[in-house]
Amino acid sequence: MINSETVSAPLQRIWQNAVVRWWIVGIVAMVLNIVLLDWFKVSLGLGLTVASLLSSEIITLARYGVLDLWVFRNPGLSWKRCWEYHVANFTGFFLWTFIIVVLGTKFHWDHKLAAIAATMITVTWSMATNFLWIWRKPKKNPDASAHN
């Protein structure tokens, strides 16, 4: 017989996983960015460049806050992590564009396939910069614990 504890324990473990929460935030942010971009462009009549810059910066700031507080469970936001997150996003954007251009011009890939490949690579880059740089877990100092 399946009871609520049997079902809720595995779901609780999944929900507590930072990688799962990171993906949830990323997918929600992508959808919200498209909605916000459309609102800026269609409803407010802004040009595509301005609309995309505004929507992506607003979503970047919101995503940073949710990642910092909910996904990585920091007690408060930090300008240093916010700056690092912006650097990681900018390098991801540059990498995405570079991959599409190289695959499209040098290897004659269709731009849609190049975009898919670039997205897979830059999502990996984003995970690496987020988990291994910006929100890396502090190293434990074995010497400090030996003296306590």
| pLDDT tens for the chain, residues 1 to 148 | 566 666 677 878 888 999 999 999 999 999 999 999 999 999 999 999 999 999 999 999 999 999 999 999 999 999 999 999 999 999 999 999 999 999 999 999 999 999 999 999 999 999 999 999 999 988 877 665 555 4
Report the distance separating Cα 139 and Cα 10, nearest Å. Answer: 29
97 and 83 in a common domain: yes
Is 2 within a domain?
A: no
- In angstroms, the CA 26 to CA 46 distance is 25
Same-domain check for residues 16 and 66: yes
Domain count, the chain: 2
20 and 69 in a common domain = yes
pTM reported for the whole predicted model: 0.84
Distances (CA, A) of 99 to 91, 109, 110: 12, 11, 12
On the 0-12 / 13-18 / 19+ scale of CB atoms within 10 A, 70 is: middle
Asked, for residue 147, whether it belongs to a domain, the answer is no
Q: Is residue 1 part of a domain?
A: no
Residue for token digits 């269609």? 42
Range of the domain at 87: 78-136
Angle among Cα 124, 127, 133 to the nearest 5 degrees reads: 125
Residues 83 and 69 in one domain: no
Tokens read off for 70: 């909910």
Residue 65 sits in the same domain as residue 90: no
Give the N- to C-terminal CA distance of the chain in Å, as an integer: 49
- Examine the fold and report which residue of 55, 75, 95 is the final residue of a domain before the chain moves on: 75
